[in-house]
Amino acid sequence: MDRRYTRVEFGPHTVEVPEGGYYDRFRMNPNLDEVARDPRAGNIDYFRRIPKQLLDSRVGPTWAPNFYYRTSNIQLLFLAPLSRLRAMLPTPLEPLRAFPGFGLVALNFFSYAVCDNDPYDEVSIAVVIRRPGARGSHALELRDSMRRRSFHAHVLALPVSTEIARVRGVYGYQLPKWRAEIDVSIGADVRARIAGPGGAPDLSLSAPLPALRNVVPQSHMGTTTMVNKVDGQWHQATVQTNTLSFAQRLFPRNVTVSRNGGPLSKLLDGLGASTIVRLDVVKDAQIVLNLPTPLRAFDRAGA
């Protein structure tokens, strides 16, 4: 059955969203009792302790943070030469050194099955960076980040599969988003693909599914902080993740990555992303995405 769509206002923009979907019904301020009755959403107690606020944003007043009730993702963490990463990062961002001469590039395929702005898929290529204002040992910072599951990153590409996700990301966050065909599947094995312009193959991956580990809600929390410029000024936006079912493999075998010359393939090639140091498969997680806030750590440097 074909899905029906309706046009809604998002700030000064008009976009199509699924008729009767979460955005159409709730406009980013959901009734959590209604969400709890949605069998697709699962247990949403985590979100009840995070109040939403009506905040000013680049597109006018908006309810924040954004809730993602049921998500999954596949991440490959690559080694890449520091010289390539520095060339791609705006000053004063600095790649976090993982090994002598090498930093880290994260490729993520996300699938958001239930969220405030309706289901969509997303692909991210980001450079893992030093915490803004950090000094001293890279090794100690990396070890601390791994222990706390808290990383900072600069996103270089963030294509999405729906128009409202593109509009929110571009105009609300000034992130490098565009529309693309994306597929993410976590079954007996893990598979993901994104198409380039005109539907031609761009980037795909496949791997055997590692044994998954199920954990108690809020026992395996993580934070990613995206650092980018908004209207010419440095900002940061935090992403909090409540992981429920996951697997991780260091230096994984039998991972196939196909680069077919599209925008993301060329970006990975340009970064020199080579050896896969870690595969993460998240079968089930809940995510909270906060609005960007001004970043003051660079003020002393006059950046």
Mean pLDDT of the chain: 95
Contact predicate 281/190, CB 8 Å: yes
Q: Which two tokens stand for residue 52?
A: 């939403």
Report whether pLDDT(165) > 80: yes
CATH number of the domain residue 258 falls in:
2.40.400.10
Provide the pLDDT for residue 302. 46
Give whole-number Cα distances, 140 to 97, 98, 101, 153, 172, in Å: 10, 10, 16, 17, 34
**How much is the average pLDDT of 119-131?**
97
The model's pTM is 0.95
Looking at the 3D structure of the chain, how many domains does it have?
1
The count of other CB atoms within 10 Å of the CB of residue 44 is: 18
Helix extents (H) in the chain: 22-26, 32-36, 45-48, 82-88, 138-148, 163-167, 173, 263-271
Report whether pLDDT(78) > 60: yes
- As to burial, measured by CB atoms within 10 angstroms (0-12 exposed, 13-18 middle, 19+ buried), residue 223 is middle
Q: What angle do CA 170, 239, 283 make, to 5 degrees?
A: 105
Provide the pLDDT for residue 2. 66
pLDDT, greater one: 40 or 302: 40
**How many whole angstroms from its chain centre is CA 20?**
26
Kindly tell me the sign of the dihedral angle through the C-alpha atoms of 121, 127, 130, 133: negative
Domain that holds residue 91: 5-301
Provide the pLDDT for residue 226. 97
Interatomic CA distance for residues 55 and 105, integer angstroms? 32
**pLDDT tens digits along 251-297:** 999 999 999 999 999 999 999 999 999 999 999 999 999 999 999 88
Confidence of residue 303 (pLDDT cuts 50, 70, 90): very low
Nearest to 246 by CA among 295, 211, 292, 218: 211
Provide the pLDDT for residue 299. 74
Provide the pLDDT for residue 300. 60
**How much is the average pLDDT of 25-38?**
96
pLDDT, greater one: 11 or 248: 248
Provide the pLDDT for residue 106. 98
Interatomic CA distance for residues 86 and 94, integer angstroms? 7
Q: Under DSSP, is residue 141 helix (H, G, I), strand (E, B) or coil?
A: helix
